[in-house]
Structure 1
């Protein structure tokens, strides 16, 4: 499950429970896939000590939150989440990622 990656991030972190945007995305997706509302997922996420990058990318990004809310069931593994992040930064997938799909 995606939350396993969040647990690995917690083990590496000292000050922040969710130091990377990837962990925050995985957390929100897991909450949505468990049937929780987006609002509940965000409130739960805010209880953790978020890194500034996680906060900006996930909690403050209304467009991303709407996208996740509408299409969360399509993300089956961590590779799908990585594609989201890559597309947000670079606007297209590199050829080697397209072939891996």
Structure 2
């Protein structure tokens, strides 16, 4: 809160809950956001996706050590995610059992 109150002095009289709820948006003298974050995220997601496809195609065409390294890294990340998904599932099941 000190950071917010330091840099946006207009918000000093308000608490964190009031700020986060968005009640103050109608009272604001600040201009509307320049970017539509949902649209920006969508466009940038497509750019990143296309870039990944291009890199993948290049690596497959070239083959060699760089491709093998990328495949190994991908498998490692997938195993990591699977492990954490299992752990999360186990933990949420235990939590649900303890709440019953």
Q: What is the TM-score normalised by the length of structure 1?
A: 0.21
| Higher RCO, Cα 8 Å, sep 6+ | 1
Higher normalized helix content (fraction of residues): 2
Name the larger-Rg structure: 2
TM-score by length of 2: 0.21
